A and B are shown apart, each in its own frame.
Chain A
Amino acid sequence: MQENHLAKWLNNDLTEAELAAFKKSDEYASYERIAAASGQLKAPDFNADEALMAIKNQRTLQDTKVVQLHPFKKFLRIAAVAAVIIFGSYFYLNTLNENIVTQYAETKEVILPDKSKVQLNADSELSFSERKWNKERNVELKGEAFFKVAKGKRFTVATEAGTVAVLGTQFNVENREGFFEVTCFEGLVIVSFEGKETKLPAGTSFMVIDGTIIESPKSKLLQPSWLNNESTFKSVPLKYVLDEFQRQHNITVETQGVDLEQLFTGTFSNTDREIALKSISAPSQIKFKFEGSKVLFYVDKNP
C-alpha cells in the first residue's frame, strides 16, 4: 500500500489493485462513511458581495483627502527662513569693515571712533573695523589721506606699499600706483617699507617712486597743500602730477610726445581748471588743448 494511501484514495490516486485491497479491509466502511459525511458539510455562509462592499467603503475612507490642520505652517516656514536670512545678514554686515570711498574731484572728512580726523583726497578709499577699534587702531588706505590722530594707542595706516604707525600726530599718506609718500606735520611717524622702518620727524617726507626711496626736502607747510585746494609737488615725475590733475579735476588726460619722467616742482589749483592747466604746462614747456571731455598735452614742434 502506498504512503498516505488514505489521502490518495480520497483523491482517486490508488491503483485498482490497491483500491480493491483497501475495500476489503475492515476500516474501509468507516472511511467511506467519513468521506461521505464530510462531503456533506458546508462552511458557514459568507456573503461575498457584502464583504466587497465593506472593503470598498473602507477604501473610500482611506482615500479621503487629509486636510492640513495648520494652514499657517507654510507661512511659518517662510517666516523662519526670512528671520534666519535677516539675522544672518545683520550679523554679517555688522562684522564688515566701515568703508569710505571718494570719487574723482571729491574729498571727504571722516571722524574715526576715537575722534581722530581723516581727510580723504579724491579717488581714495579708507576702511576700518569699528568693532575692533578699541583693541587696535588700524585703518587701511588706498589713495591719499591726511590724518590728525588723537593721542592714544598705536595708530596704524596700512597701504599696499607699506604701513605707517604713530601714537598721535598729523601726517599725510599718499599711495598711488607706483607712488608712496608719507609726510609728517607734527609729532613722529614710523614708516615701514619693505621691512625697513624709517622715523619721520615733523616737517619731513618719505617718498617712494617705482620702488626707489627718494630723499625729499623739508617742507615748511603745516598741513598738506591739497587741504587748501592745491596740489603741491617737489621733484616728482610729471606722470604722477598728471595723474593727480586727472583725479582732482575729473577729466581724462592724454599726452602726445611729452616726457613723462621729467621732474615737476610746483603747485596747481584743485578748483580752477584753466589756472591748473597753465600751472602745469608753463613750467614743463608743453602745450594743452581740450578735445571734447579730454585734455591733450602735447609738445609744440614750432615754438
Chain B
Amino acid sequence: METKNTGNVCEEQVFDTIFKANSKTVFNYIYYKFGNEEKAHDAVQEAFVKLWENCAKVSPEKAKSFVYTVANNLYLNVIKAEKVRLKYADKTLKVTHESPEFLLEEEEFKQKLNRALDSLPENQRTTFLLNRIDGKKYAEIAEMEGVSVKAIEKRMHLALKSLREKIEGI
C-alpha cells in the first residue's frame, strides 16, 4: 500500500501519486464517520489543497498522515450524534445459483447488517468498515485515527459483538 515517494510533494507527479494512493481512503474514512458523501468530498478537497499549500513543509512520507489529520480536524466540531444512514454501492451483479428463498433471506440479513452498522458508535463503524471494505490493517487504522493498535482491536471486537447482538435481536 505504501507508495515510496522520493522528492518533493510540490512536484506535480509526486502530489498526483499521493492523491491517487490516498484520496479514496480519505473519502471513505469521512464517509464512514458521517455517512455524508458531500462532506467526504469536501474533506478530500480540503485535505489535499492544504497538502499542496504546505507541500514544502510536508515530506512525502508524512503526507499520508497529514491528509488524514486535516480531514479529521475539518469535522472535529461537527455534532457526532447526527443520525447516520450509510449507502453502499450495489454489488448484486453476480450470477447466483441460489434459491429465491435463500436470496431473500440473504437480502434481509444485509438490511439488518446495514441498520446495525448505522447504529454503531462512529469510531467503531469507521474502524470496522475501513478494515472490511478498504482492507486496512489495524496498524494503518490506528495511524489514521491517532490511537494505539490495541484500541483499534478493541473497537473491532466491540463492533463485531454489537453487530451480532443487533442482527440477532439480543
A residues in contact (CB < 8 Å) with B: 3-8, 10-11, 27, 30-31, 33-35, 37-46, 48, 51-52, 54-55, 58-59, 62
Q: Does the CB pair A7–B156 fall under 8 Å?
A: yes
* Of the residues A6, A35, A42, contact of B161 by C-beta under 8 Å: A6
Q: Does the CB pair B48–A55 fall under 8 Å?
A: yes
Q: How far is the CA of A43 from the CA of B167 in the complex (A)?
A: 21
Q: How far is the CA of A27 from the CA of B37 in the complex (A)?
A: 34
Q: Does the CB pair A34–B89 fall under 8 Å?
A: no
B residues in contact (CB < 8 Å) with A: 16, 19-20, 23-24, 27-28, 31-32, 37, 40-41, 44-45, 48-49, 52, 87-89, 91, 109-110, 113, 117, 128-129, 131-134, 137-138, 150, 152-157, 160-161, 163-164, 167-168
Q: Does the CB pair B52–A59 fall under 8 Å?
A: yes
Question: 16 more A-B contacts (CB under 8 A) besides A43-B89, A46-B27?
Answer: A4-B154, A6-B157, A6-B160, A7-B153, A11-B153, A33-B109, A34-B113, A37-B109, A41-B88, A41-B132, A51-B27, A51-B44, A51-B45, A52-B16, A52-B23, A55-B52
Whole-angstrom distance from the CB of A9 to the nearest CB of chain B?
A: 8
Whole-angstrom distance from the CB of B24 to the nearest CB of chain A?
A: 5
Whole-angstrom distance from the CB of A194 to the nearest CB of chain B?
A: 77
Q: Does the CB pair B24–A48 fall under 8 Å?
A: yes
- With contacts A59-B49, A59-B52 taken as known, whether A6 is within 8 angstroms of B19 at the C-beta atoms is no
- With contacts A37-B110, A55-B52 taken as known, whether A31 is within 8 angstroms of B160 at the C-beta atoms is yes
Q: Does the CB pair B131–A58 fall under 8 Å?
A: no
Residues of A within 8 A of B109 (CB): 33, 37
The residue in chain A whose Cβ has the minimal distance to the Cβ of B112 is: A37
Whole-angstrom distance from the CB of A57 to the nearest CB of chain B?
A: 10
Residues of A within 8 A of B110 (CB): 37, 40
The residue in chain A whose Cβ has the minimal distance to the Cβ of B23 is: A48
List 7 tightest A-B contacts by C-beta distance, closest first: A7-B156, A4-B157, A7-B153, A42-B89, A6-B160, A4-B153, A38-B132
Dominant secondary structure of chain A at its interface with chain B:
helix
Dominant secondary structure of chain B at its interface with chain A:
helix
* Of the residues A34, A45, A46, contact of B160 by C-beta under 8 Å: A34
Residues of B within 8 A of A30 (CB): 164, 167-168
Residues of B within 8 A of A37 (CB): 109-110, 113
Q: Does the CB pair B41–A51 fall under 8 Å?
A: yes
Q: Does the CB pair B156–A44 fall under 8 Å?
A: no
Q: Does the CB pair A43–B113 fall under 8 Å?
A: no
* Of the residues B31, B48, B163, contact of A34 by C-beta under 8 Å: B163
The residue in chain B whose Cβ has the minimal distance to the Cβ of A38 is: B132
Whole-angstrom distance from the CB of A146 to the nearest CB of chain B?
A: 80
The residue in chain B whose Cβ has the minimal distance to the Cβ of A54 is: B45
The residue in chain A whose Cβ has the minimal distance to the Cβ of B92 is: A40
The residue in chain B whose Cβ has the minimal distance to the Cβ of A40 is: B91
Q: Does the CB pair A10–B37 fall under 8 Å?
A: no
- With contacts A6-B157, A51-B23, A58-B49 taken as known, whether A43 is within 8 angstroms of B31 at the C-beta atoms is yes
Q: How far is the CA of A44 from the CA of B87 in the complex (A)?
A: 7
Q: Does the CB pair B134–A48 fall under 8 Å?
A: no
Residues of A within 8 A of B37 (CB): 44
Q: Does the CB pair B24–A46 fall under 8 Å?
A: yes
Residues of B within 8 A of A48 (CB): 19-20, 23-24
